[in-house]
Amino acid sequence: MPRHGGGSLLVAGTTSDAGKSILTAGLCRWLARRGVRVAPFKAQNMSLNSMVTADGGEIGRAQAMQAAAARVEPEAAMNPVLLKPAGERHSHVVVLGRPHADVDALSYRGHKPALLDVAVDALDGLRRRFDVVICEGAGSPAEVNLRDRDIANMGLARAANLPVLVVGDIDRGGVLAHFAGTLAVLEPEDQRHIAGFVVNKFRGDPALLRPGLDWLRGATGRACLGVLPWRSGLWLDVEDSLDLDGRPGLLTPPVGRDILRVALVRLPRMSNVTDADALAAEPGVSVRLVATPAEMAEADLVIVPGTRSTLSDLAWLRERGIGAELRRRAAAGRPVLGVCGGLQMLGAAIHDDDGVESREGHAPGLGLLPVRTDYSPAKVLASPAGRWRGHEVSGYQIHHGRVTVDGGEPFLDGCRSGQVWGTTWHGIFECDGFRRAFLTEVAAAAGRDWRPGTGSFAERREARLDALGDLVEEHLDTAAVWRLIERGVPAGLPAVGLAPVDRARTGPAPVNLTPHTDGEADRS
């Protein structure tokens, strides 16, 4: 249980991709701009988009983005439990930035009580060092089948005595029912932590929503503390597959006559898709996710990204005909880039005889780069830096595969052969000089009249984070939010009426959405 420290607030969601990450980042930027020393926190994150902290720990990219919003250095305590799916039912568990276990859905349940202690201790440590900690939930607290071992939503709220804001995406429809239903399925002790609601992605005149918000307050005893308008172009470090289709294409006009078209192969277990974000921010660069050879045909550059299941995704490339198309591109001198697992798939062979990442043993690669990969149980977590064509380059490495290069032109711990490139470094395109030099070579090979812009990706990210802070400041009841942070869980919040729950019964209990002012569910 938390004993002392700064104020805290938990942002939960009615669904995945409701806006939890965005609202958490916006709150962090709003507070940071007012001189509040604030930190983000997510007890448990499931994502294949991760990064390496300065001290060599692995955390979700969303928490790193939120740390940037807070203007603080990201650290492992901000995301103490990270799940990296390795298939439909298996995940790799990272605890406090370090590899911990490989689990399936059922065996992971046994780890959760100890991991809740880890999460609460990490949160306590942040609260001692920061004025405020803004916590982000995971999925939805309404997943009652998972409640008994929950460590990220109401389990954390009760363990750390946190007030909770629930955010809902109105663009999906049914947001009022989502709010009321989320509250109604919770036990009274969980309900007392739910302090208010936030509507996300609203289009139109907020006055049209007012009758519904009045109904919501009457039905739940809780106010909506803000209606965030729909804004385009705020994509930042996605966590899960639900975000992928909203990723950007062409954002700004080209400097030259031509557009440079980049195709990012949408692997089934793709990781660190955020590597392409800085490319999409460059003027005249269009980035598309592709999953067929036909979609790749007109691309000037094809990127094979990282993956959590290299051998499985390599087999998928072959089955879809993408492997053959990559060979045709290479033979024609058309640029291809492999990053981390993508580099490994473009190489000569992959050996995982100890089953570190898969049970498939070994397989020949696509043979486009003179590279052999051997898997080791020890994970590489590093933040390398160097120079290429006179430009400083830095990135981060997260992999079990040890790459041995036997030929080609050296390229960021990987190599280049013809117009096929490969590196183990993630995040390299955030380096402005390198990104422009690399894309200039791609444009020359593709015969495009494309020229780089002059803006900084870091400045562009800062502008987006400021836009999130503006959304919070302009459209949230910030005075009410600050009271929650400062004072904690409000006293006397009513519980909506729930019939007694028979734990031996499998059917749902009937719901009566009538608040009870005594703070307890109707037990009559």
The CATH number that applies at residue 61 is 3.40.50.300
Catalytic residue among 340, 415, 431, 475: 340
Query: pLDDT (tens digit, 9 = 90+) per residue, 395-424?
Result: 999 888 898 999 999 999 999 999 999 999
Q: Quick one: pLDDT at residue 506?
A: 35
Q: Quick one: pLDDT at residue 385?
A: 94
Catalytic residue among 92, 400, 426, 475: 426
Flag whether pLDDT at 322 surpasses 90: yes
Q: Which of 57, 61, 59, 54 is nearest to 21 (CA)?
A: 61
Residue ranges making up the domain that contains 377:
256-452
Q: Quick one: pLDDT at residue 271?
A: 86
Query: pLDDT (tens digit, 9 = 90+) per residue, 251-269?
Result: 678 888 999 999 999 999 8
242 within some domain? no
pLDDT class of 234 with cuts at 50, 70, 90? low
Residues 442 and 361 occupy one common structural domain = yes
Beta bridge partners of 301: 262
522 within some domain? no
Name the strands in the sheet holding 414-417, side by side, starting at the edge strand that comes first in the sequence.
285-290, 260-265, 301-304, 336-339, 420-423, 414-417, 409-411
Residues 284 and 171 occupy one common structural domain = no
Supply the pTM of this predicted model: 0.85
Flag whether pLDDT at 249 surpasses 60: no
Contact assessment for residue 225 and residue 197, using Cβ atoms and an 8 Å cutoff: yes
Distance between CA atoms of residues 251 and 262, nearest Å: 13
Query: pLDDT (tens digit, 9 = 90+) per residue, 353-386?
Result: 776 776 677 889 999 999 999 888 888 899 999 9
Flag whether pLDDT at 518 surpasses 90: no
Domain boundary (452, 474, 497) is at 452
Contact assessment for residue 331 and residue 292, using Cβ atoms and an 8 Å cutoff: no
Residues 510 and 439 occupy one common structural domain = no
Q: Which of 435, 436, 445, 367 is nearest to 406 (CA)?
A: 367
Token pair listed for 480 = 């009410």
282 within some domain? yes
Residues 204 and 276 occupy one common structural domain = no
Q: Which of 35, 11, 23 is nearest to 471 (CA)?
A: 23
Residues 268 and 227 occupy one common structural domain = no
pLDDT class of 231 with cuts at 50, 70, 90? confident
3-state secondary structure of 3: coil
Name the percent of the chain lying above pLDDT 90: 65
Domain boundary (432, 452, 472) is at 452
State the total domains in the chain. Answer: 2
Contact assessment for residue 79 and residue 64, using Cβ atoms and an 8 Å cutoff: no
Residues 52 and 124 occupy one common structural domain = yes
Residues 210 and 274 occupy one common structural domain = no
Q: Quick one: pLDDT at residue 443?
A: 95
Token pair listed for 119 = 């999460």
Flag whether pLDDT at 514 surpasses 60: no
Distance between CA atoms of residues 280 and 430, nearest Å: 11
Q: How do beta strands 301-304 and 306-307 pair?
A: unpaired
241 within some domain? no
248 within some domain? no
Beta bridge partners of 181: none
Distance between CA atoms of residues 1 and 120, nearest Å: 7
Residues 475 and 446 occupy one common structural domain = no
Q: How do beta strands 414-417 and 409-411 pair?
A: antiparallel
CB burial readout 383-422, b (16+ within 10 A) else e = bbeeebeeeebebbbbbbbebebeebeebbbbbbbbbbbb
Q: 233 or 222: whose pLDDT is higher?
A: 222
251 within some domain? no
- Complete DSSP assignment for 49-80: -EEE-TTS-EEEHHHHHHHHHHTS---GGGSS
1 within some domain? no
Most confident of 142-146, 281-285, 426-430: 426-430
Flag whether pLDDT at 494 surpasses 50: yes
Q: Which of 371, 297, 378, 312 is nearest to 339 (CA)?
A: 371
Flag whether pLDDT at 453 surpasses 70: yes
Token pair listed for 146 = 């998972």
pLDDT mean over 67-72? 96
Q: Quick one: pLDDT at residue 500?
A: 41
Residue 75 CA from chain centroid, whole number:
16
Query: pLDDT (tens digit, 9 = 90+) per residue, 33-65?
Result: 999 999 999 999 888 788 899 989 999 999 999
Residues 12 and 35 occupy one common structural domain = yes
- Alpha helices, DSSP H only, in 299-407? 310-319, 322-331, 341-346
Residues 356 and 260 occupy one common structural domain = yes
Amino acid identity at 511: V
Mean confidence (pLDDT) of the chain: 87
Flag whether pLDDT at 213 surpasses 70: yes
Flag whether pLDDT at 517 surpasses 60: no
Residues 441 and 487 occupy one common structural domain = no
Beta bridge partners of 249: none
Q: Quick one: pLDDT at residue 499?
A: 34
87 within some domain? yes
Residues 317 and 445 occupy one common structural domain = yes
Q: Is 426 a catalytic residue?
A: yes
- We report the CATH number of the domain holding residue 383 as 3.40.50.880
Flag whether pLDDT at 223 surpasses 70: yes
Q: Quick one: pLDDT at residue 17?
A: 86
Q: Which of 82, 84, 86, 62 is nearest to 74 (CA)?
A: 62
Distance between CA atoms of residues 394 and 434, nearest Å: 9
Beta bridge partners of 375: 401
Domain boundary (452, 473, 490) is at 452
